[in-house]
Chains A and B, each alone.
Chain A
Amino acid sequence: MSQILENPRGGCVLAGINSVLGALDRVCPVFHSGPGCCMQTSAAEQGQSGHKNSCFVSSVSLPSSNMLEREVVFGGLKKLRTTIQGAIDLIDASAYFVLTGCTAGIIGDDIESVTEEFRKKGEEVYAIDTPGFAGDSNLGYEVVWNTMIDKVIEENIEKDDKLVNIFGIVPYHDPFWSGTLEEIDRILSLLGIKVNTFFTKHQGIDDIKKCSGAALNIIVNPWLFKGPAKKFEEKFGVPSLRIPGLFIGATDTTDFVRAVAKQLNLDNELVEKVIAAEEDYVYHYLAQAIGVVSFKRFAVVADANNAVGLTRYLANDFSFTPALVVISEPLFRQEDKDRIIERLSDLEYATPPKIVFASDQYEINQAILNEEEEITLLIGSSNDREVALEKDIQFILASFPMSERLIFNRTYAGYRGGLTFTEDLYDNL
């Protein structure tokens, strides 16, 4: 079920699948699709994510069967076979994933059997038969992990009680994904934990195969990954800890650290020592710029994960007033909405903001324009700048889609990310 959307944020499920695979080291997607899907899906996600592209293969570098009228009428499997063979001969990948566009999905080409032929020859070629029309890019993230659980991750891997897997940070659909995963990795490493981020440190298919040996799956997201988490636990016995929203700044990051420590029974003395040192690092800087950033009543337009993080940091740690939060990704389960509302409302001192669930740009603009309370700062995506200009208020570009910034390893997450976000709040106006 997909809704009609004005200025949609991101692409179809194929776009999501492609971007997630593109963030893995030396993994090559192979498109069985119409001629434009490689470019369209790469542009929809990577192209709107702070100008950082998958540096292995993306867009017009992706192998593709480029299905034309002939393939629509007669089927495209012959073309697909030579495309896969070419990809194997040319591209130095550790695994190949065959993906389907709408065309292949509607005419019903059997890509599973074709990939099976290659696997029999010892090639690492997997099928993900989820055509573009099946959903949006968030679904793509879950589809990739379901495929990994079903077909790639190995069973009977020796358990490592210090190893964790991080889920919930979606490559490219979250423009700060690299930096965020690096900050999570940095913090957990201080606690003596080994971290599978899967998308940084040149991690790739081999790390995925062995990730069933982890002691814990940490899901940093208020709603995503419910299905795969259950499946992961059933098949590999790895439990999950859900962190219901990105942690930005000292308060939520420390809560995160304590939650992980409790789950893994870490040495309390070490944990408290790390927390003290990190919080000291943050406040040592904050103390040097008191009253520099002027007070704001703010609105946030973002995906649930970032909206929770940004709102809670500004409200709890920075004493700004939250007026309005718009969750801009389509959500279909009421329990997810409830969890998000709870996180946004359970604030330390501040009065909870008004919360709106809207993915359509017109509805988002209306929510902001019609807000009766004064708003002096809007944090949102490139799509939301228009309404900020119309209201003549400060605007910070901090959510997807993001076209007017270049993002490498920048993040607002964690202890250090909170400082970076605070730097960006300053506008000298």
Chain B
Amino acid sequence: MAEVIYSGVRESRPGRINDLGTTGQQVDQDFKKGCLKRADRSFAQGLQCQQINSMAALMSLEDSVFVSHSPQGCVGCSIMAVDMYRVGQAHRGIKNIKNPRIIVTNIDQKSVVFGGEEKLRESVKLAVERYHPKLIFVYASCASGIIGDDIDAIAADLQKDFDSVIVPIHCEGFKSKICASGFDAAFIAINKYILRKEKKEKEKGLVNLFAPTTVSYADQLEMERMLATIGVKVNYIPFYSSLEKIKRIPAAEASTSICKVFADEFMKTLWEDYEIPYSHTVMPIGIRNTDKWFRGIAKVLGKEDEVEEIIKKEHERIEPLVQKIRSKLQGKRVFICGGTGRSFAAAALIDDFGMELVGLETPTYDEDAQTDIEYLNDIHKDYVVDIANMQPFEQVNLVNKLKPDAFIGVPEWAAKLGIPTTHVLDGKRPTMGYDGLLYLGNKIAEQLQNPGFNKKLAKHVKLPYKDSWYDEDAFKYIEK
């Protein structure tokens, strides 16, 4: 049988499902019995497409131009990564803050009829003329995919004329419902066009630390601080990195990732192609997860004993402070919504503070999620699980019924229901490691203690849904 090459589409992995309304206990049993099936919603709200993730993942690379082979609208979300890149430079003390170079080919009616090849060629030429970049990334889109422009062939042909490494990325939005597929699409292309399965001499103590754009500089420093205590030199990839740093990836002794779904597939590939061992555990948010994450990478490096000592010291330092926060949060009921990594990490975090989970919303369910659910089921007996990529209509229905004391996640909708809200996806401030925990804990406690803004907001502003919706089953539109 021929070897099946992973396409980058996350749905193609067996046992991974998208749309489901259930409970913690139920999903645990159903997964074990193998009776979870992929479903769909007959009514849904907008998703995040994989192209957004492919672009965001690489947007801060040095000496790069990003060519989007798409109409102008498909670079809309890049503004979030652009903003992170600019703010990230400010946080790193850079005075002359630069824009990333994004060129959109602007597929139009003519391209739809006659193909967009000329526009793509012209865009790549412009990129070279203007910036002589080391890297040119070419992103596919729904439009380029459907009209059938062969970006691989065009890139290969252009490569003959230019020194810049041209990297086509297959992130057509319609191919996947799971936006994290876009990370895989980007890394598959990096492996194929930059690393090319060429092995490198190992550098002692070098570890690839994979991090998406949404990780703040404060978090980067905290991760680097922790890893330095076990003698690790960090190759921080791909945020604020460069072609040189990417080329160093195969020289590493090990890999780990800050975000659970960011580089899990890529780390597997690095093991298969370059024999780089990796640690794939959890996102380092909260004491338990930070310990687990830290032990994971230490084990790969054979530093189990050293790490235990450091963890002990960190606990001595942090636990009295956590205790203080715990006294304010003990027993409070929480609803959590977030990406795959952050949602489960936040669920583990609330245990540090003795809070009770009543609802969890996360985009996909798979073996990794099952591990987390089994852990959560030991602590929390009764909570709703909504497998949804956002879908605020389901969220507000659930939150309104469950009436949690606190909501952790994107605050926009729960705030209008008057629930105190805390965001865990703050790419500009700390959330991770031992120190991030305190920052987050204090934030949750203080929002709970002083919920005035949301309470007053709820009195004045109504969400767009009909009153009748709140009486309905939140999962009524999920079709098996």
The answer to whether the Cβ of B401 comes within 8 Å of any Cβ in the partner chain is no
A241 to chain B, nearest CB (A): 31
Taking CB atoms and an 8 Å cut-off, the chain B residues in 225-245 that contact chain A are none
Name A44's contact: one of B79, B97, B465, B466 (CB within 8 Å). Answer: B79
The answer to whether the Cβ of B321 comes within 8 Å of any Cβ in the partner chain is no
The answer to whether the Cβ of B147 comes within 8 Å of any Cβ in the partner chain is yes
A93 lies within 8 A of B104 (CB): no
Contacts of A189 in B (CB 8 A): none
B99 lies within 8 A of A40 (CB): no
Contacts of A65 in B (CB 8 A): 44
B96 lies within 8 A of A62 (CB): no
The answer to whether the Cβ of A134 comes within 8 Å of any Cβ in the partner chain is yes
Interface size class of B (residues with CB under 8 A): 35 or more
- Known contacts: A62-B45, A86-B477, A102-B71. The answer to whether A2 contacts B108 by CB under 8 A is yes
Contacts of B50 in A (CB 8 A): 36
A60 lies within 8 A of B46 (CB): yes
Contacts of A40 in B (CB 8 A): 49, 52, 73-77
Contacts of B102 in A (CB 8 A): 6-8
B65 nearest CB neighbor, chain A only: A6
B79 lies within 8 A of A63 (CB): no
Interface string of A16-44 (1 = CB under 8 A from B): 00000000001010010011111111111
- Known contacts: A39-B52, A385-B97. The answer to whether A4 contacts B469 by CB under 8 A is no
Number of A-B contacts (CB under 8 A): 235
Contacts of B176 in A (CB 8 A): 68
The A interface, classified by DSSP as helix, strand, loop or mixed, is helix
- Known contacts: A38-B45, A87-B43, A103-B142. The answer to whether A4 contacts B461 by CB under 8 A is no
A276 to chain B, nearest CB (A): 38
B46 lies within 8 A of A43 (CB): no
Name B461's contact: one of A14, A55, A132, A401 (CB within 8 Å). Answer: A55
Most chain B C-beta atoms within 10 Å of own C-beta, residue among A1, A43, A102: A102
The answer to whether the Cβ of A12 comes within 8 Å of any Cβ in the partner chain is yes
- Known contacts: A47-B76, A133-B71, A133-B109. The answer to whether A390 contacts B42 by CB under 8 A is no
Q: How far is the CA of A44 from the CA of B49 in the complex (A)?
A: 14
B146 lies within 8 A of A102 (CB): yes
Q: How far is the CA of A383 from the CA of B82 in the complex (A)?
A: 10
A360 to chain B, nearest CB (A): 9
Name B143's contact: one of A3, A89, A106 (CB within 8 Å). Answer: A106
Contacts of A48 in B (CB 8 A): 79
Name B75's contact: one of A8, A64, A83, A389 (CB within 8 Å). Answer: A8
Contacts of B431 in A (CB 8 A): none
A386 lies within 8 A of B97 (CB): yes
Contacts of B44 in A (CB 8 A): 63-66, 83, 86
Name B46's contact: one of A35, A90, A136 (CB within 8 Å). Answer: A35
The answer to whether the Cβ of B174 comes within 8 Å of any Cβ in the partner chain is yes
Contacts of A79 in B (CB 8 A): 42
Q: How far is the CA of A209 from the CA of B119 in the complex (A)?
A: 42
Taking CB atoms and an 8 Å cut-off, the chain A residues in 63-79 that contact chain B are 63-69, 71-72, 79
The answer to whether the Cβ of B48 comes within 8 Å of any Cβ in the partner chain is yes
B393 lies within 8 A of A90 (CB): yes
Contacts of A133 in B (CB 8 A): 71, 107-109, 111-112, 143
Contacts of B106 in A (CB 8 A): 2-5, 8
B108 lies within 8 A of A14 (CB): no
Contacts of B390 in A (CB 8 A): 60
A102 lies within 8 A of B142 (CB): yes
A213 to chain B, nearest CB (A): 29
Among the listed stretches B122-130, B149-157, B185-193, B210-218, which one makes contact with chain A, having 4 or more residues with CB under 8 Å of it?
A: B122-130
The answer to whether the Cβ of B295 comes within 8 Å of any Cβ in the partner chain is no
B173 lies within 8 A of A36 (CB): yes
Contacts of B77 in A (CB 8 A): 36, 39-40, 43-44, 47
A60 lies within 8 A of B48 (CB): yes
B78 nearest CB neighbor, chain A only: A43
Contacts of A419 in B (CB 8 A): none
B465 lies within 8 A of A86 (CB): no
A134 lies within 8 A of B108 (CB): yes
Q: How far is the CA of A35 from the CA of B19 in the complex (A)?
A: 14
Q: How far is the CA of A385 from the CA of B94 in the complex (A)?
A: 14
A63 lies within 8 A of B51 (CB): no
Q: How far is the CA of A294 from the CA of B99 in the complex (A)?
A: 29
A86 lies within 8 A of B42 (CB): yes
The answer to whether the Cβ of B39 comes within 8 Å of any Cβ in the partner chain is no
Q: How far is the CA of A95 from the CA of B477 in the complex (A)?
A: 22
A64 lies within 8 A of B46 (CB): yes
A37 lies within 8 A of B80 (CB): no
B47 lies within 8 A of A60 (CB): yes
Q: How far is the CA of A177 from the CA of B188 in the complex (A)?
A: 43
Contacts of A56 in B (CB 8 A): 464
Most chain B C-beta atoms within 10 Å of own C-beta, residue among A13, A37, A48: A37
- Known contacts: A63-B43, A90-B466, A103-B146. The answer to whether A36 contacts B104 by CB under 8 A is no
B67 nearest CB neighbor, chain A only: A4
Contacts of A87 in B (CB 8 A): 43
The answer to whether the Cβ of B58 comes within 8 Å of any Cβ in the partner chain is no
Contacts of B45 in A (CB 8 A): 38, 60-64
Interface string of A128-146 (1 = CB under 8 A from B): 0000111110000000000
Q: How far is the CA of A203 from the CA of B112 in the complex (A)?
A: 38
Name B73's contact: one of A63, A92, A132, A390 (CB within 8 Å). Answer: A132
B71 lies within 8 A of A132 (CB): yes
The answer to whether the Cβ of A82 comes within 8 Å of any Cβ in the partner chain is yes
B103 nearest CB neighbor, chain A only: A6
A134 nearest CB neighbor, chain B only: B109
- Known contacts: A57-B464, A386-B97. The answer to whether A8 contacts B104 by CB under 8 A is yes
Taking CB atoms and an 8 Å cut-off, the chain B residues in 34-87 that contact chain A are 42-52, 71-77, 79-80, 82-83, 86
Q: How far is the CA of A64 from the CA of B466 in the complex (A)?
A: 18
The answer to whether the Cβ of B98 comes within 8 Å of any Cβ in the partner chain is yes
- Known contacts: A7-B102, A102-B71. The answer to whether A403 contacts B47 by CB under 8 A is no
B73 nearest CB neighbor, chain A only: A12
Contacts of A356 in B (CB 8 A): none
A36 lies within 8 A of B99 (CB): no
B43 lies within 8 A of A85 (CB): yes
The answer to whether the Cβ of B248 comes within 8 Å of any Cβ in the partner chain is no
Interface string of A83-109 (1 = CB under 8 A from B): 101110111110000000111011100
A54 nearest CB neighbor, chain B only: B464
Instruction: Report, nearest first, the 8 A-B pairs whose CB atoms are least far apart.
Output: A36-B49, A38-B46, A86-B43, A44-B76, A12-B73, A40-B76, A2-B106, A11-B73
Q: Could you name 20 residue pairs across A and B whose Cβ atoms are closer than 8 Å?
A: A4-B104, A6-B130, A8-B72, A15-B76, A35-B174, A37-B46, A37-B173, A48-B79, A60-B392, A61-B393, A64-B45, A66-B46, A71-B174, A83-B43, A86-B42, A86-B44, A102-B142, A106-B146, A136-B72, A362-B130
Additional A-B contacts beyond A35-B174, A61-B45, A61-B393 (12; CB < 8 A): A2-B107, A4-B123, A11-B73, A28-B464, A39-B48, A40-B49, A40-B75, A61-B46, A83-B44, A103-B174, A133-B143, A386-B98
